[in-house]
């Protein structure tokens, strides 16, 4: 099988930027030293990447739709629709994502969920589908955000209620629940985690820190869009935000938290706060609404009407934010700017931009992969990982996207793979 | 012997690299006529490899028709261990240059039959036509490769147990845990290197000064194995001022006086026939 060598790359590896080559075969990143000494062959095809920044492809754990398509709409849900979104998301540097379904009626879940199967990505099919994120309806009414009250539920019968509501747990990767709902901590979370291998995320909740800690001890490991749809941090009851510095969590794994860095949902000071306090847990998510990628106008999400105007998406007729329309690539840029802003005002000069670039990219790659326990395969450029990667310029704009080693998208002709090739001796 | 005395390590590394480049160019290798180069590991060659990589990247030098034989490798260390000599050579040289992996030879410290591995290595050198230029460094005790003091001056490629000093010195690469340091290695013999048509030894720093004195101003002695090269027809020794600290002023003055002649060895205009003068 053809051995590809991408020369002259500035790679993100082991939390640092290093100048090195990237070797790919069979859609995986391989160790060139092993190939050199054990197989004694040279690359068949070589590309000169002109020193460009090469990062793992971005991974989005919370996205409600995009390019006008709504994952929660039973009328639109289909394999073709998901495929289309998966293909178009490559323009944002996204190589894997988790389509998210908001609080809905049981009939809707049964119509919609079976259409979204896990699927490996490719240049032809676009980003990998990592499973489904079901956000709700077992959430708290007071923190429902844009979710409809009449769809919210409790679980007096424990996990049975979730199963009868959703229909099945097949292809479900993440479920967001409010842990204070009776039975969640006692039975639902442990069963979801241990029996069904599903990542439980806490959110849309009025839980105290104590309840949050018990949820994590029961198996929850993610916080849905930190700061949004939960109690604000209070110095005598830190609420779910306090999980970032809790001293009563199991030490075996860390708690990750989603953060919407669209410049609107989270103030840059809050981004810096969370980052300084618990950087390894930070996961950038878009929580994007179907309007992502579309110009200003009105669109549908779930059973709601959404207004998009001036980079804000609100429920038509209210001031309630209902998700972001910033791409994951823009979120990475926003996070980097937020970190830089913090440094400039403190020291008067920028010394650690390179480290920030690495951390912001980790937040959109390695960290989301860790949430799903796939950090050896996705979200990394380590040997053996899937060859999902992107080219970025120094402002972190996406120049090109590769999935399983093949170019899935390029911003212009100059970054087309044909124009980078310097050697081709494959048959 | 030619003794080239330069100012400091940077000059030694550059001179050494330029010499290798010129020798390859003058040899003019091509398909069926490969340049066979013997290579060392350690701290001294690091700067030389860096310079050679620069030459290759600037398209001033190609390794396409160069065959390499490394001097040694630890026994029992996994090939991809960061401290293996395979890893050293890959990271410092091979990954950056255009050498054909089939032309690269490094002893396999994990071979099922170590003695056979050594015999086959010697055969591989013969099959390649013998080494044209063997580059090396020396240890503070004057050893070449892993030919520790007491090694036969007629030795061939074989298994050697490392001296206590060597193991202690290497501990810093193994988390300062002396138990993790390999205790034995496969190494080319003194005789193996003597067979090369030319030998170039690079010596830098005051810590090597006594070894250099033993190597060139004292007798041929198996306690300082590099002294064997006093018997080689083309022994080129490249060192810096600090390494000459234990030599006689007379020796240093004589060789420094020859620097204009020696420098022609690395000039593009230097005639290849110069190789046979001043030895």
**pLDDT tens-digit profile of B126-178?**
999 999 999 999 988 899 999 999 999 999 999 999 988 888 878 888 888 88
B256 φ, ψ (degrees, to nearest 5): -65, -35
Residue with tokens 């026939």: B273
Q: Do B94 and A36 touch (CB under 8 A)?
A: yes
Q: Is the pLDDT of residue A304 over 80?
A: no
Among B86, B95, B102, beta carbon nearest to A40: B102
Would A427 be classed as within a structural domain? no
CATH of residue A47's domain is 2.30.40.10
A275 labeled binding residue: no
pLDDT, averaged across chain A: 94
Among B80, B100, B102, beta carbon nearest to A33: B80
A111/A213 same-domain check:
yes
Check if the beta carbon of residue A35 is closer than 8 Å to that of residue A3: yes
Q: Do A41 and B101 touch (CB under 8 A)?
A: yes
Residue A414, pLDDT score? 95
Most confident of A245-254, A346-355, B12-21, B267-276: B12-21
Domains detected in chain B: 2-264 (3.40.50.1360)
Would A426 be classed as within a structural domain? no
Would A425 be classed as within a structural domain? no
Would A407 be classed as within a structural domain? yes
What are the catalytic residues of B? 72, 141, 143, 148
With cut-offs at 50, 70 and 90, classify the pLDDT of residue B279.
confident
With cut-offs at 50, 70 and 90, classify the pLDDT of residue A306.
confident
Residue B210, pLDDT score? 96
Residue A316, pLDDT score? 86
A52/A66 same-domain check:
no
Q: Which residue of B has its CA nearest to A23?
A: B95
Percent pLDDT > 70 in chain A is: 97
Would A376 be classed as within a structural domain? no
A194/A340 same-domain check:
yes
A362/A389 same-domain check:
no
Q: Is the pLDDT of residue A303 over 80?
A: no
With cut-offs at 50, 70 and 90, classify the pLDDT of residue A425.
confident
Q: Which residue of B has its CA nearest to A22?
A: B95
Q: What is the mean pLDDT of residues B97-110?
A: 97
How many CA within 13 A on the CB side of residue A327?
Answer: 19
Q: Do A37 and B102 touch (CB under 8 A)?
A: no
Check if the beta carbon of residue B160 is closer than 8 Å to that of residue B118: no
Q: Do B94 and A40 touch (CB under 8 A)?
A: no
Contacts of A24-27 with CB under 8 Å at 24 or more apart are A24/A387, A24/A405, A25/A1, A25/A405, A26/A1, A26/A405, A27/A386, A27/A387, A27/A404, A27/A405, A27/A406
A333/A395 same-domain check:
no
Residue A344, pLDDT score? 67
Greatest Cα pair distance in chain A = 68
Q: Is the ipTM of this complex over 0.90?
A: yes
Contacts of B165-171 with CB under 8 Å at 24 or more apart are B165/B140, B165/B141, B166/B139, B170/B83
pLDDT tens for each residue of B198-216: 999 999 999 999 999 999 9
Q: Which residue of B has its CA nearest to A35?
A: B101
Q: Do B87 and A37 touch (CB under 8 A)?
A: no
With cut-offs at 50, 70 and 90, classify the pLDDT of residue A301.
low
Mutate to test the interface with B, among A36, A40, A41, A422 (most CBs of B within 10 A): A36
CATH of residue A186's domain is 3.20.20.140
Residue A307, pLDDT score? 87
DSSP state of B224: B
Residue A314, pLDDT score? 84
Catalytic choice (A287, A362, A386, A388): A287
A141 labeled binding residue: no
Last residue of a domain, one of A350, A371, A392: A371
Residue B169, pLDDT score? 79
Q: Which residue of A has its CA nearest to B95?
A: A33
Shortest Cα distance from A163 to chain B (angstroms)?
Answer: 49
Check if the beta carbon of residue A60 is closer than 8 Å to that of residue A324: no
A7/A85 same-domain check:
no
Judging contacts by C-beta atoms under 8 Å, the chain A residues touching residue B95 are 21, 32-33, 36
Among A32, A33, A42, beta carbon nearest to B100: A42
Q: Do A33 and B104 touch (CB under 8 A)?
A: no
A223/A143 same-domain check:
yes
Residues of A contacting chain B (CB within 8 angstroms): 21, 31-34, 36-37, 39-42
Would A246 be classed as within a structural domain? yes
Judging contacts by C-beta atoms under 8 Å, the chain B residues touching residue A34 are 80
pLDDT tens for each residue of A119-157: 999 999 999 999 999 999 999 999 998 888 999 999 999
With cut-offs at 50, 70 and 90, classify the pLDDT of residue A219.
very high
How many CB pairs (< 8 A) connect A and B? Answer: 28
Burial A1-30, CB ≥16 within 10 A → b, else e: eebbbbbbbbbbbeeebeebbbbbbebebb
pLDDT tens for each residue of A48-80: 999 999 999 999 999 999 998 999 999 999 999
Would A360 be classed as within a structural domain? yes
A202/A349 same-domain check:
yes
Structural domain span for residue A19: 3-56+382-420
Residue A155, pLDDT score? 95
How many CB atoms are located within 10 Å of the residue B188 CB? 30
Residue A99, pLDDT score? 98
pLDDT, averaged across chain B: 95
A92 labeled binding residue: no
Tally of structural domains, chain A: 2
pLDDT tens for each residue of A307-366: 888 878 888 888 887 778 999 999 999 999 999 998 866 665 555 788 999 999 999 999
A160/A209 same-domain check:
yes
Q: Do B95 and A37 touch (CB under 8 A)?
A: no
Residue B170, pLDDT score? 83
Looking at A221-225, B234-238, B273-277, which range is the least confident one? B273-277
Q: Which residues contact A415 (CB under 8 A, 6 or more apart)?
A: A391, A399, A400
Residue B275, pLDDT score? 80
Residue A350, pLDDT score? 53
A154/A288 same-domain check:
yes
Q: Which residue of B has its CA nearest to A37?
A: B101
A323 labeled binding residue: yes
Would A271 be classed as within a structural domain? yes
Distance CA B94, CA B53 (A): 9
Looking at A309-313, A398-402, B26-30, which range is the least confident one? A309-313
A265/A155 same-domain check:
yes
Q: Do A36 and B87 touch (CB under 8 A)?
A: no
A304/A249 same-domain check:
yes
Q: Do B94 and A42 touch (CB under 8 A)?
A: no
């Amino acid at each position: 099988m053809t051995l590809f060598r991408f020369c002259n790359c500035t790679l993100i590896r082991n939390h640092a930027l290093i100048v090195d080559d990237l070797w790919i075969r069979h859609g995986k990143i391989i160790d060139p030293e092993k190939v050199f000494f054990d197989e004694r062959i040279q690359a068949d095809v070589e590309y000169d990447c002109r020193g460009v920044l090469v990062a793992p492809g971005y991974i989005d754990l919370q996205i409600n739709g995009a390019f006008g398509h709504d994952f929660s709409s039973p009328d639109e849900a289909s394999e073709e629709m998901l495929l289309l979104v998966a293909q178009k998301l490559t323009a944002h540097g996204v190589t894997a994502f988790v389509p998210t379904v908001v609080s809905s009626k049981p009939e809707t879940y049964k119509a919609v969920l079976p259409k979204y199967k896990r699927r490996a990505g490719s240049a032809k099919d676009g980003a990998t589908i990592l499973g489904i994120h079901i956000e709700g309806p077992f959430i708290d009414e007071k923190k429902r955000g844009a979710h409809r009250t009449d769809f919210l539920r409790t679980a007096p019968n424990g996990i049975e209620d979730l199963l009868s509501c959703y229909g099945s747990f097949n292809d479900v990767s993440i479920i967001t629940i409010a842990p204070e709902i009776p039975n969640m901590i006692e039975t639902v979370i442990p069963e979801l985690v241990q029996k069904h291998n599903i990542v439980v995320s806490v959110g849309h909740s009025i839980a105290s820190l104590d309840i949050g800690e018990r949820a994590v001890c029961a198996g929850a490991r993610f916080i849905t869009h930190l700061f949004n749809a939960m109690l604000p941090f209070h110095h005598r009851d830190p609420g779910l935000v306090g999980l970032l510095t809790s001293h009563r969590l199991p030490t075996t794994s860390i708690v990750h938290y989603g953060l919407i860095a669209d410049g609107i949902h989270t103030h840059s000071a809050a981004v810096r706060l969370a980052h300084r306090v618990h950087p390894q847990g930070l996961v950038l998510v878009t929580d994007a609404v179907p309007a992502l990628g579309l110009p200003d106008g009105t669109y549908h999400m779930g059973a709601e009407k959404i207004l998009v105007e001036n980079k804000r998406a609100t429920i038509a007729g209210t001031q309630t934010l209902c998700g972001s329309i910033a791409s994951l690539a823009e979120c990475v840029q926003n996070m980097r700017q937020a970190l830089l802003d913090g440094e400039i005002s403190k020291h008067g000069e920028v010394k650690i931009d390179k480290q920030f670039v690495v951390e912001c990219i980790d937040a959109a790659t390695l960290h989301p992969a860790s949430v799903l326990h796939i950090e050896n395969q996705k979200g990394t450029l380590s040997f053996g990982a899937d060859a999902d990667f992107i080219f970025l310029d120094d402002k972190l704009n996406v120049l090109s996207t590769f999935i399983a080693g093949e170019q899935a998208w390029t911003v212009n002709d100059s970054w087309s793979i044909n124009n980078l090739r310097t050697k081709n001796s494959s048959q | 012997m030619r003794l080239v005395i330069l100012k400091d390590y940077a000059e030694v590394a550059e001179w050494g690299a330029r010499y290798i480049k010129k020798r390859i160019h003058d040899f003019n290798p091509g398909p069926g006529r490969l340049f066979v180069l013997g290579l060392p590991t350690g701290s001294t060659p690091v700067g030389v490899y860096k310079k050679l990589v620069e030459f290759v990247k600037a398209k001033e030098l190609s390794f396409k028709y160069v065959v390499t034989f490394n001097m040694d490798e630890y026994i029992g260390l996994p090939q991809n261990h960061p401290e293996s000599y395979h890893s050293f050579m890959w990271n410092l040289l091979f990954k950056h240059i255009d050498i054909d992996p089939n032309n690269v030879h490094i002893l396999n410290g994990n071979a099922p039959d170590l003695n056979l591995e050594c015999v086959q290595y010697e055969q591989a050198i013969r099959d390649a036509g013998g080494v044209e230029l063997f580059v090396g460094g020396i240890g503070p005790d004057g050893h070449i490769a892993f030919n520790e003091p007491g090694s036969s001056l007629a030795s061939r490629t074989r298994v050697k147990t490392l001296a206590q000093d060597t193991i202690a010195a290497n501990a810093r690469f193994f988390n300062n845990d002396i138990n993790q340091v390999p205790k034995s290695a496969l190494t080319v013999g003194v005789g193996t290197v003597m067979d090369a048509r030319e030998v170039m030894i690079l010596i830098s720093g005051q810590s090597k000064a006594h070894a250099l004195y033993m190597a060139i101003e004292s007798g041929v002695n198996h306690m300082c194995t590099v002294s064997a090269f006093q018997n080689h027809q083309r022994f080129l020794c490249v060192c810096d001022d600090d390494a000459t600290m234990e030599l006689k002023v007379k020796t240093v003055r004589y060789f420094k006086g020859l620097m204009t002649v020696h420098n022609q060895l690395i000039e593009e205009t230097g005639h290849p026939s110069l190789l046979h003068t001043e030895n």
